Amino acid sequence: MIPLRLVMAGSPAAAVPTLTALAAGPHTIERVITRPPTPQGRRRTLTPTPVADEAARLGIPVLEARRLDEIEADLQALPVDLGVIVAYGALVREPLLSWPRLGWINLHFSLLPRWRGAAPVQHAVIAGDAETGATVFQLTAGLDEGDWYARLTTPIGAHRTAGSLLDELSRSGADLVRQVVDDLAAGTAVPHPQEGTPTAAPKLHREDAALRFTEPADAVHARLRGVTPEPGAFCHWGEQTLKIHEATIARDAPALPPGALRRDGTRVLVGTATQPLELLRVQPAGKQAMPAADWARGWPAGAPTELA
């Protein structure tokens, strides 16, 4: 196997394990490409991406750009065999798509062609899929349409959030990427066409995180887990916004009208179209997240008795 010269494009924490794994060798990362710093926190401090921080720790030169065409000349001056992209946040277009000798491979957090797009793990959880996974595939002009080289699967279960699944897949997917890079270097990588009906996983917005208690409990709970931690599930308690960080289905509790809010001993229940949900951790407007029981103990007289 002749070691390859790589560039890697990525931005969020989910891309860091792949960068760390590839930096361990035997291949050489010529540049890391990531998005520019963004304002973070209450003070809106400009903060580099997690990938930029990891590249700095590893001593790898970084190029910051919102789109690759902004640094096209810098990239084309590099002698590169393969591009690796993990959640960079922008498309790769020609002429950069075919610039590396072996093109680009992409780590995507779904079992392609299911859930092509920006939020595959979130959509898989919201849809109630039994399993999800990760796929390493050849990047093409079409969105997540290229032939795949390797994949892995993992069960979603009834309690996992999109955040915990993404953390797991980012780590196991890093090993998958390293395997494919080694196979491409050795000339043994075998592409497979994607099979099945594609589904779309567009970026989620705040309105996608609104809980609808007129739906069955399984659907409400799946949406809550699918939008945790981002954009974050919420509903309305009177005129206030209430964030819901954690809940479970109270299958032993009597039915409640959709949205009806009740205290049942130490439990806080809200009705759905089927079984109630037990709220476990919530965040009232202007306050820190807290156990739902603590929130309920602080209800003032005449507090709203419904969530919507």
The CATH number given to whatever domain includes residue 260 is 3.10.25.10
Q: Are residues 43 and 102 in the same domain?
A: yes
Q: What's the mean pLDDT in 249-253?
A: 94
Place of tokens 């062609």: 113
Number of domains in the chain: 2
pLDDT of residue 255: 93
Q: Is the peptide bond before 229 cis (omega within 30 degrees of 0)?
A: yes
Q: Which of 36-50, 112-126, 252-266 is predicted least confidently?
A: 36-50
Structure tokens at 274: 């089927």
pLDDT of residue 302: 86
Last residue of a domain, one of 186, 214, 236: 186
pLDDT of residue 230: 94
- Which letter, b or e, does each residue of 164-177 get, where b requires 16 or more Cβ atoms within 10 Å of its Cβ? bbbebbbbebbebb
Q: Which of 57-61, 86-90, 171-175, 177-181 is predicted least confidently?
A: 86-90
Q: Are residues 179 and 214 in the same domain?
A: no
Decide if pLDDT at 39 tops 90: no
With CA atoms as reference, report the closest residue to 109 among 244, 12, 222.
Answer: 12
Phi-psi region of 114 (alpha: psi -120 to 50; beta: other; left: phi over 0): beta
Which residue type is seen at 138?
A: Q
Decide if pLDDT at 45 tops 90: no
Last residue of a domain, one of 129, 158, 186: 186
pLDDT of residue 62: 97
pLDDT of residue 272: 98
Q: What is the DSSP string of 233-256?
A: -EEEETTEEEEEEEEEE-TTSPP-
pLDDT of residue 37: 87
Residues in contact with 72: Cβ distance below 8 Å, sequence separation at least 6, in sequence order: 95, 96
Question: Is 304 a domain residue?
Answer: no
Question: Is 195 a domain residue?
Answer: no
Decide if pLDDT at 8 tops 90: yes
pLDDT of residue 46: 84
Q: Are residues 229 and 182 in the same domain?
A: no
Residue 193: count of CB within 10 angstroms of its CB: 9
Q: Are residues 171 and 246 in the same domain?
A: no
Q: Is the CB of residue 253 less than 8 Å from the CB of residue 288?
A: no
pLDDT of residue 213: 98
Rounded CA gap, 90 and 285, in Å?
34
Q: Are residues 12 and 121 in the same domain?
A: yes
pLDDT band at 16 (very low <50, low <70, confident <90, very high): very high
Alpha helices in the chain (DSSP H): 16-23, 50-58, 72-76, 120-126, 162-186, 217-226, 292-297
Q: What's the mean pLDDT in 263-284?
A: 96
Q: Are residues 164 and 286 in the same domain?
A: no
- Boundaries of domain holding 252: 206-297
First-to-last C-alpha distance (Å) of the chain: 60
| Residues in binding site | 110-113
Residue 65: count of CB within 10 angstroms of its CB: 18
pLDDT digits (tens, 9 = 90+) for 226-236: 999 999 999 99
Q: Is the CB of residue 49 less than 8 Å from the CB of residue 86?
A: no
Return the percentage of the chain with pLDDT > 70, whole number.
Answer: 100
With CA atoms as reference, report the closest residue to 271 among 222, 307, 218.
Answer: 307
Return the percentage of the chain with pLDDT > 90, whole number.
Answer: 92
Question: Is 302 a domain residue?
Answer: no
Q: Are residues 170 and 211 in the same domain?
A: no
Question: Is 277 a domain residue?
Answer: yes
Q: What's the mean pLDDT in 104-127?
A: 98
pLDDT of residue 79: 92
| Residues in binding site for (6S)-5,6,7,8-tetrahydrofolate | 110-113
Surface-to-core class of residue 44, CB atoms within 10 Å of its CB (0-12 exposed, 13-18 middle, 19+ buried): exposed
> What CATH number does the domain containing 76 carry?
3.40.50.170
Last residue of a domain, one of 152, 186, 220: 186
pLDDT digits (tens, 9 = 90+) for 164-196: 999 999 999 999 999 999 999 999 999 999 999
Q: What's the mean pLDDT in 118-143?
A: 97
Decide if pLDDT at 31 tops 80: yes
pLDDT band at 132 (very low <50, low <70, confident <90, very high): very high
Which H or E run contains 132? strand 131-138
Average pLDDT, the chain: 95
Q: Are residues 72 and 145 in the same domain?
A: yes
Q: Are residues 53 and 145 in the same domain?
A: yes
pLDDT band at 265 (very low <50, low <70, confident <90, very high): confident
With CA atoms as reference, report the closest residue to 112 among 155, 146, 139, 83.
Answer: 146
Q: Is the CB of residue 80 less than 8 Å from the CB of residue 4?
A: no
Q: Are residues 273 and 137 in the same domain?
A: no
Place of tokens 């419904």: 306
Question: Is 306 a domain residue?
Answer: no
Q: Are residues 155 and 14 in the same domain?
A: yes
Residue 253: count of CB within 10 angstroms of its CB: 16
Q: Are residues 35 and 144 in the same domain?
A: yes
